[in-house]
Structure 1
Amino acid sequence: MSGVDGDDDGDDEEPVRNTNSETFVIAVRDLIHGNRYVYARSLTTSSLTPPRWYGKRYRKDGRTWKRRIRATDENWSSLMDAMTDAYLVWKYSDLQSPPSSHPDYNFYISTIDLYTLENTAHILRDQNTEPNVALVRAGYLGNSPLNPSLAISLQTLNLFYTLRLFKASLSVEAFAKTLCHLYKIPYRRGYRSALSDAFDVYLAILRKVDSRVPKELGHDGPDYRVKNSCPACCYKLEDEPRLDIQRMWVVDGNNSLKRIKGISGREIADTRVFSSDYYLSPEFVDQYANEVKARAQDHEDIVDEDVDEDGDAIHDNNEGDPTDGGEDDETDPVLAKLLKTCAEKWKASARDELKKMWAVFKECGIFASACRHGFILWIVDMIESGELAKYPLAMVAKALEVFGDQWILGYDIGCRFIRTILASSLGPKFQEKKCRTCVNAFHGYTHNIICQQHNHPLSIIGMGLEDLETLERVFSASNQLALITRYMNAYRRRVFIDVYFRQWDREKYQNLARTIHNNYVQALDIIEEDGEAVQDMLKELQITEKDLETYFEDEVNHFRDLGTELEDVHAVAYVELLQKFRSLHTEYEEASSSFRLHIPDDYTPLSQHQQYTSALSETRKAETKRRVIGEQRDRVLDELVQMEVQMGIPEGQRWQPASPQYIQALQYMKKRKYQQALESLYKLVVQRLFELHRLNLSQTGYKMRTHISQALQKRSQAIRNAVRRYNTAATALDPPRPTLDWSKVSHFSFLDEFNILQDTRHSVFDKPWAQANIRETMKRYRRVARAQEEIVRCNVEIRRLHTSIVNEDLEFVSILQRLEDQHSPNYGPVLEYIERRRGVNRLLMEQIQRTYTLPHFTGIKTPGIRKRQEPDPSHCSSDLAPVVTDHSPSNQPSVSVEHMGEPLFSHGS
């Protein structure tokens, strides 16, 4: 049963004190239908008598839930430091002497203990010790801060905490039902509330303890976690190879971790705000809220969708999304059109989920970032919105502040997002640090092939074999949280998400060496298998690696011009204007004389008045028609004269129907529709086939292949429409050209089946890189190049990890000695952290040794020296981990995995 104590008006009743050594009467508060009652129950030293429920109302409590929760939180906060100290004494102290106590203040209390199944416990305390402090010192935690009526053992809470670390979907209700089952009592909802409140306090105590450990280790500087959590990314060494890309990280949004907002917009009573170094504050994110505005055409598309079926208005402040920033590049209109196409596809895929999202949910999900090894960097709540530009911009701003130079950001719309960055206030610093963005490997295959040639990881020098799909794996695992956080209040939702990602990072560190090892093995396999195949194909085709590079460049240039007209479109436009002008001039002359020359066949004499009225009406209609046609003719004539000036056509030499230029343009116009339809069909077909071939669907797993096929379904529909337009234009020619059957086109697998496409002006049939065997060689050649880059990066990363483990253990030895000499109360939690860390480090060293023993390992097998970094004046001195420089690679032996004692490494290592 959960009690709420503490009134900010200061009019709470006094707690009932012990008046008999055999009996202790505890004031218990229960909230029933908005009223508060006080009951008494007798607890004896021998047994717990059933509670006697008194119906007498003590007084009516007029406080709101918000005031009650705030008062409870304030009362808990005042006890937190003392309870944390008591927790450290209970868990880590070896003293067997009982705490000071006084018979008048000792008490019995109802308990829940999964390990002992005891119903009561006798708690010792003195007059200076608060009841909850005494409970924690005895291994329990009360259900309310001032007058606890129920205590849950810390071991039980710790078991629930541990289970939740490895099974995030385990709910408080499920665990409460488990306890009721073991105690053989029926489950009631109040038990869940009591367990939930106690678990909140228990987590707060753990956070207090965890905040003391980094201070003792020197890990409490600003952004320390982001700068040091992943040694493979952060722990730079002296004299290591220079990497083209210093750091890779990714951002993306996830809409699974939503939270339902209050009915009719009402706020939840629990107004506590949880913050941690994982979350970027809303104030920081909102600094970039006005950097990008939604494009007008996109905003107009959803104006009619701003009300859902229930009539709830969807919040819309016209903020732009990550694709709305930056103007189109007039110097490169082809690339600008390409990026616009990518952005439109991204918007289309996101539109359905945004239509009804904002009216129902307060938090519509999270926007997260992670390094390439999966360590979480920052998290942001998406408040009543989809993926607005301010979320990734805030993370880019933080990365520019924390990271070094030459990093690359992976984003599923990274090809367009870079324009948003450059158009924002972050642009100058982004360019100064020589950073860039790209698309993720899996999502990138649904982008236009020209976009892939520039932004796909396989096409970027220095990327290695990284696919940048890290967050897809993160979200796939974290989605289990959605089962229990959907209806939580904002505070608890954030707490549970924070607990989950801290454990995620711990597991990522434990598996870091294995990740590098697997990357190394994958790269070696590609170099061995594809490298040999490439060399054999080069000999068979009688070409060189330099020829392959030339083919790559030619392919890029070809697809940039794909779909453009090679003829002089100005001549076509000029002839069209001439035809339109002559047509309007003829209509104008006919309109001027229509009234004079035209007499109706059914003409009948009219009276004088009727003749005058009818003639006046007809005259006005004829005059209006003549004036309108005349104005249209004059406008066309102005355009015609301007075009003649631009084309350099001398005055008086206007093209006539018998002019050679006019005839040539007219002939082209007759087949222009056919050519345009063919070019459009060619562009779609070639791009689709090359993308599918590049993706190599025949060697892709079933689930991934199915997902990609669904992503390409829209493009298939576009090809169907292009086939229809082509058939219409082909039958209009004289003589008609062959038509295409969509049922056959949809099953074509490569270019040689599209014989009709030889009629296009951008044909690839004469291009060497369009041949199937050469394309396969080009793909394997590029994979080998990326694999060789991956080997270099893995050599760097594994040595960084090795060095960090060596240096860390040297730190641990000195830190433990210092805390022991000082008799610090923090010695226990620091020792536990170090023991767990050393156990993980031993596992990492085993995997590092496995990598060192690979037949083709080319890295250095000894630890190095960490590179010194210039301290930031705005940060404290503990911003970076201590740099150990008293050992060098020459005198630093390779560490054996057989060393399993304590410490992991001796001072002489």
Structure 2
Amino acid sequence: MDGNNSLKRTDATIRANRERIDCRQARSDYWLKPEDVDVFKDEVKARPKGKGKASIPDPADEDSNDWQHVPESDPTAICIDRWRNAGPEERKKMFAMFSESGLFLTACRHGFVLLICDMIRSGELMKYPLAMVNKLMDVYGSNIACGYDIGCAFTKTLASSSLGRRARELYLRLLTGAFHGHSHHRGCQLDYHPQYIKGIGLTDAEGCERIFSASNAIASGTRHASKFHRHQAIEEHFSFWDEDKYAALSTFLYNHYREALAIVQSWPAQMAQFRSQLLVTEADFELYLEQERQYLSSLTHEPQEDSLRFNYVEALEELAKTDWENARAVANKLAYGTVREGHAKAVLEAGRHVCTTHTKLQNAETTTAHLENQLAIQGARWRPEDEEYKLVKDSMTERAYRKALDDLELLIVKRLLELTKLNMSGTGYQFRTQIAKALQRRSEAIKNALSRYNTHASKLVPPRPQLTWKEIVEYSFLGEFTLLRSSRSDIREQKWTQPAHREAMAKYFKYHRACEEIDRLNVEIRRLWTAIHDEAAQSSRVIGELSVSNPPLAAELRRRWALRSSVNGVHLSRLRRIQSMPGFSGNCSTGVRERGAHTEHLVSVSSDDVIVQEVIGQDAANAVIVDEEEVLQDFEGMTDFVLSIVE
């Protein structure tokens, strides 16, 4: 699920017009009504100012000197600043000129549109995904996996909402899309990226992006339409989209099965190579993932003892900067010296300097004494030549190194997202120009951040390797910035940090997701096979009955069924191709619907596709040609047919 703000509708009052009253409603079951969405409008409370969010100005701006370091204790805090739709609700305002500011949409993994709701005079508020999740749980029940580009942040919102308990009981699982996930914090990736979630298969959870890429084309026709006609245009577009996706469904199954089989069949040879070269087993890869989680968890909180030592050394440095003796000496010299022109003004300024310096001295003395009491320091204060002082200074260098790395990572992620917008279908010329200018400024900022990073990296003992432009671009995709951080324990010798082991670990999880994909496809293939069989049997029965009772309606249904049966014939051909693949492990026999729909019309046969083709052939052979006079004579029946189609 995801939101898109292309399909806006301008408020008629902005155009100084009066909108025509149109009470017609949407005709499909795509839509969630605004009142069903507004049930969740108060689920997310407004955050008090200064709490619950990190203030992170753009390092590319010259005036951004107030950098509040994002705590690593909450990886989603970083994601909130990277993703606009994860931010506070008060930030998601929309121009008042738009009555509807876009759509929020949910689709299945095959690309079929499931649910749509209007975003009304707002950005992507949390009430929209909450309403979607509520409806999904009503329809599909338990064991639902839902991809969202801010799945990490929305998980917390869902857990604290009125749907939290129900979502836990029904085992609802949120994740981030495969593409968007690489721009999240590494801690989020380990918990929410599809590659590491059991049962997801090879689903990338990025289907909404493909849907919006096509729906952007109708934006020009909805901007000034009435409310009903906007809905009508959107419904027609998505109805055609779903028909197109149904026609391509067997292609989807075939391509995914072929891809998954290729991964599964190549794994034994790859694993044998890993055993010989890296001396690892499959159990080691699971261990590596857990070790990485533990390492990231260990970085979330700085030990209190270390924080006190850092603060103590900073207080000593601040105390050393307080030049109290010099300020007092200057003031005394002026007070008892020879009176000259401007002497009174100089004495006044020296007095102010003495007062300011004395205040700073008192504050520094108080802070230092308080920290000495907390650290239980007895005797003389630390001096720059003391061993403890030097150790703390070295650790503070690591602190500066981590901050420089955070600056660099943030700029790279922003650049990546802007590049995505630049290549997005439907982006206008002016918007592209603005993005290009922003990228130019960003590139200069990245160069400066890269220089700062390399400077701090060289000060570490031992020094960290210098980074190049090519390396940091690759890191932005791999999400490996966290591994560059210097920690209290050196992890560079750990196997899970080494490139060869990490590549092997990625292939291991890819293999398991491919196995899950094959299991899932075996279910979906048999379901499609059964649905085609059921549809053919039911259509044959209904058309046969209507040929006697309502010939015009039978003729219309026969015409529509001819198109549908042609598509189903292509599906059957592709399903046979899947069945003939080396390594196919599914079952192509006809099943029975779990809910028992149409089961009274099923015939137990050994070759279902033959029966389907026979049914289609019988329909064509039994087609009744209705002439014009017969249609006119049965005009009343045709009217009923038209009304039924409209309904």
TM-score by length of 2: 0.74
Larger Rg, first or second structure (1 or 2):
1
2:599 corresponds to which letter in structure 1? V
1:599 corresponds to which letter in structure 2? A
Gaps of 5+ in 2: 56-69, 414-421, 428-434, 620-647
Aligned to 1:865: 592
> Secondary structure of the equivalent of 1:367?
strand
Distance 1:789 1:582 in 2: 64
C-alpha displacement at 1:294, in angstroms? 5.0
Q: Does 1:676 find its partner at 2:427?
A: no
Distance 1:477 1:905 in 2: 39
Aligned to 1:278: 30
- Any conservation in 2 of the 1:806–1:905 contact (CA below 8 Å)? no
Relative to structure 1, the CA distance from residue 543 to residue 552 in structure 2 (aligned partners, 3 Å threshold; closer, same or farther) is same
C-alpha displacement at 1:280, in angstroms? 1.3
Q: Does 1:516 find its partner at 2:256?
A: no
Which of 378, 381, 396 is the aligned partner of 1:657?
Answer: 381
Aligned to 2:608: 895
Distance 1:743 1:885 in 2: 66
> Map of 1:771-850 to 2, 5 A cutoff?
771-819=498-546, 822-823=549-550, 827=554, 829-850=556-577
C-alpha displacement at 1:369, in angstroms? 0.9
C-alpha displacement at 1:438, in angstroms? 0.7
Relative to structure 1, the CA distance from residue 717 to residue 837 in structure 2 (aligned partners, 3 Å threshold; closer, same or farther) is same
Relative to structure 1, the CA distance from residue 737 to residue 370 in structure 2 (aligned partners, 3 Å threshold; closer, same or farther) is closer
2:367 corresponds to which letter in structure 1? V
> Secondary structure of the equivalent of 1:896?
helix
> Secondary structure of the equivalent of 2:83?
helix
- Any conservation in 2 of the 1:842–1:897 contact (CA below 8 Å)? no
TM-score by length of 1: 0.54
1:602 corresponds to which letter in structure 2? T
Q: Does 1:571 find its partner at 2:286?
A: no
Which of 264, 269, 279 is the aligned partner of 2:19?
Answer: 269
Aligned to 1:542: 279
Aligned to 2:162: 425
2:264 corresponds to which letter in structure 1? I
> Map of 1:7-86 to 2, 5 A cutoff?
none
- Any conservation in 2 of the 1:842–1:904 contact (CA below 8 Å)? no
Greater helix fraction, Structure 1 or Structure 2: 2
Distance 2:302 2:448 in 1: 20
Give CA deviations for 1:377-408 in whole Å, capped at 9, x if unaligned: 11122223221222212111211222210101
> Map of 1:214-253 to 2, 5 A cutoff?
251-253=1-3
Equivalent pairs counted in the alignment come to 577
> Map of 1:428-467 to 2, 5 A cutoff?
428-467=165-204
Give CA deviations for 1:390-445 in whole Å, capped at 9, x if unaligned: 22121112112222101011111111111111222221211121112111111212
- Any conservation in 2 of the 1:363–1:384 contact (CA below 8 Å)? yes
Which of 465, 487, 492 is the aligned partner of 1:765?
Answer: 492
Which of 615, 631, 636 is the aligned partner of 2:367?
Answer: 636
Distance 2:372 2:25 in 1: 70
Relative to structure 1, the CA distance from residue 569 to residue 819 in structure 2 (aligned partners, 3 Å threshold; closer, same or farther) is same
Distance 1:832 1:816 in 2: 11
Distance 1:274 1:832 in 2: 29
Give CA deviations for 1:688-723 in whole Å, capped at 9, x if unaligned: 999xxxxxxxxxxx989xx9x999999987864554
Aligned to 1:363: 100
- Any conservation in 2 of the 1:279–1:378 contact (CA below 8 Å)? yes
C-alpha displacement at 1:856, in angstroms? 1.3
Q: Percent identity?
A: 33
C-alpha displacement at 1:446, in angstroms? 1.9
1:269 corresponds to which letter in structure 2? E
- Any conservation in 1 of the 2:85–2:150 contact (CA below 8 Å)? no
Q: Does 1:343 find its partner at 2:80?
A: yes
Distance 2:532 2:566 in 1: 11
> Secondary structure of the equivalent of 1:893?
coil
C-alpha displacement at 1:797, in angstroms? 0.7
Distance 1:536 1:903 in 2: 52
C-alpha RMSD of matched pairs (Å): 5.0
Q: Does 1:260 find its partner at 2:48?
A: no
- Any conservation in 2 of the 1:865–1:885 contact (CA below 8 Å)? no
Aligned to 2:641: none
- Any conservation in 1 of the 2:93–2:122 contact (CA below 8 Å)? no
Relative to structure 1, the CA distance from residue 668 to residue 394 in structure 2 (aligned partners, 3 Å threshold; closer, same or farther) is same
Relative to structure 1, the CA distance from residue 398 to residue 899 in structure 2 (aligned partners, 3 Å threshold; closer, same or farther) is closer
- Any conservation in 1 of the 2:536–2:615 contact (CA below 8 Å)? no
Aligned to 2:122: 385
Distance 2:148 2:295 in 1: 26
C-alpha displacement at 1:622, in angstroms? 9.6
Relative to structure 1, the CA distance from residue 469 to residue 576 in structure 2 (aligned partners, 3 Å threshold; closer, same or farther) is closer
Give CA deviations for 1:64-91 in whole Å, capped at 9, x if unaligned: xxxxxxxxxxxxxxxxxxxxxxxxxxxx
Gaps of 5+ in 1: 1-250, 303-331, 606-610, 691-701, 869-880
- Any conservation in 2 of the 1:727–1:740 contact (CA below 8 Å)? yes
Relative to structure 1, the CA distance from residue 571 to residue 501 in structure 2 (aligned partners, 3 Å threshold; closer, same or farther) is same
C-alpha displacement at 1:457, in angstroms? 0.9
C-alpha displacement at 1:686, in angstroms? 9.8
Aligned to 2:416: none
Give CA deviations for 1:352-392 in whole Å, capped at 9, x if unaligned: xx999625533332211111111111112222322122221
C-alpha displacement at 1:824, in angstroms? 8.7
Distance 1:744 1:515 in 2: 35
Give CA deviations for 1:236-288 in whole Å, capped at 9, x if unaligned: xxxxxxxxxxxxxxx11222223333363645432214323111112222222
- Any conservation in 1 of the 2:383–2:389 contact (CA below 8 Å)? no
C-alpha displacement at 1:844, in angstroms? 2.1
Relative to structure 1, the CA distance from residue 449 to residue 564 in structure 2 (aligned partners, 3 Å threshold; closer, same or farther) is same
Aligned to 1:603: 339
Relative to structure 1, the CA distance from residue 455 to residue 763 in structure 2 (aligned partners, 3 Å threshold; closer, same or farther) is same
2:212 corresponds to which letter in structure 1? F
Relative to structure 1, the CA distance from residue 744 to residue 463 in structure 2 (aligned partners, 3 Å threshold; closer, same or farther) is closer
1:568 corresponds to which letter in structure 2? D
Relative to structure 1, the CA distance from residue 841 to residue 467 in structure 2 (aligned partners, 3 Å threshold; closer, same or farther) is same
Distance 2:473 2:247 in 1: 47
> Secondary structure of the equivalent of 1:397?
helix
> Secondary structure of the equivalent of 1:428?
helix
- Any conservation in 2 of the 1:679–1:760 contact (CA below 8 Å)? no
Aligned to 1:291: 43
Relative to structure 1, the CA distance from residue 378 to residue 761 in structure 2 (aligned partners, 3 Å threshold; closer, same or farther) is same
Distance 1:770 1:802 in 2: 46
Aligned to 2:597: 882
> Secondary structure of the equivalent of 1:520?
helix
- Any conservation in 1 of the 2:201–2:517 contact (CA below 8 Å)? yes
> Secondary structure of the equivalent of 1:377?
strand
Aligned to 2:644: none
Give CA deviations for 1:116-158 in whole Å, capped at 9, x if unaligned: xxxxxxxxxxxxxxxxxxxxxxxxxxxxxxxxxxxxxxxxxxx
Relative to structure 1, the CA distance from residue 829 to residue 425 in structure 2 (aligned partners, 3 Å threshold; closer, same or farther) is farther
> Map of 1:185-204 to 2, 5 A cutoff?
none
